[in-house]
Amino acid sequence: MKKILGIIASRRKIANGEILLKEACKAVEENYQLELIRLPDLKLEPCKGCYACLNPEKLCPLGDDLYYLADKIKAADGVIVSSPCYVLGPAAITKLLSDRTIALAQLLDDFWGKPCVIIGTAGIKEWEGYTMSALVMMTRSIGLDVKDAHMFIGALPGEAVEAAGALPRIRQLGKALFGEKRGAENGQCPTCWSDLWKFPKPDLSVCPICGQEANLIINDSGLSWEYGPSGARLGYEELKRHFQKWLPEKAQEFGARRKELELVRNRYKNQGQWLTPPT
């Protein structure tokens, strides 16, 4: 029996994301057990940037529920992530979790290749913003294999699953979890499926998530994409290098240059007045 972990970012109970997640599971073509975690129910602290977790013999010192969640991901055969879009981006709790990637990436070998599908929900079409790109980045940066992802539209709880085409599409996500991975859709980065692009030069487009390069070509049929080599940033070797080699080396460098950098930092002490709310 497959174990599926559903990670829900919304505080609302029985809201669109939860309904769609459960509907997706109905399409899973294997026997399964569904476990659910509501991210706002966990204690997740902001990353302190202390880099203690980069030591292989140490864990993040915050002592919150991060490793509880990590253990549940490790124990699952597949993961479904569901988040609403709030003000053009995913629910804030997902960014809080994403900021803890430095610690989670130390577990890359435990997570790598674990299948995942992503469900986004938004109240109004064309107001999805960067939600899906952020959710794809969050999951792929810790090594999950995103098999499918889709943004569903519905403002009222229960509305999204009733929208035209929603049921067939959510069932596709359910089948994809342990089935075939879909390809990139039109306009998406072919490597990470982000729909964001930077244009640093007139003849160059770059995916800000994975680093994929491309050109927009004007031809008789209109605009088309011409892609370079796949972006490497979210690949296994690059994630290992960045989070398990480069960052630890920078932490060691800070230790060696602490006194030198302290002289710079001291110039900015005692400037301005810090405000705190009344107790």
Confidence grade of residue 53 (pLDDT, cut at 50, 70, 90): very high
pLDDT of residue 222: 77
Helical segments of the chain, H only: 16-26, 66-75, 92-98, 101-104, 108-111, 131-140, 166-177, 236-241, 247-256, 258-266
Are the CB atoms for 148 and 168 separated by under 8 Å? no
Mean pLDDT over all residues of the chain?
Answer: 94
The CA-CA-CA angle for residues 183, 7, 116, to 5°, reads 25
How far, in Å, CA of 257 to CA of 273, rounded?
28
Q: 155-209 pLDDT, tens per residue?
A: 999 999 999 999 999 999 999 999 999 999 888 999 999 999 999 988 899 999 9
| pTM of the model as a whole | 0.93
Give the residue among 94, 97, 111, 37 at the shortest CA–CA distance from 62. 97
Of all residues in the chain, what percent carry a pLDDT higher than 90?
A: 88
pLDDT of residue 260: 96
Residue 151 belongs to what H/E stretch? Answer: strand 145-153
Give CA torsion, residues 267, 273, 276, 279, to 10 deg.
120
Q: 17-51 pLDDT, tens per residue?
A: 999 999 999 999 889 999 999 999 999 999 999 99
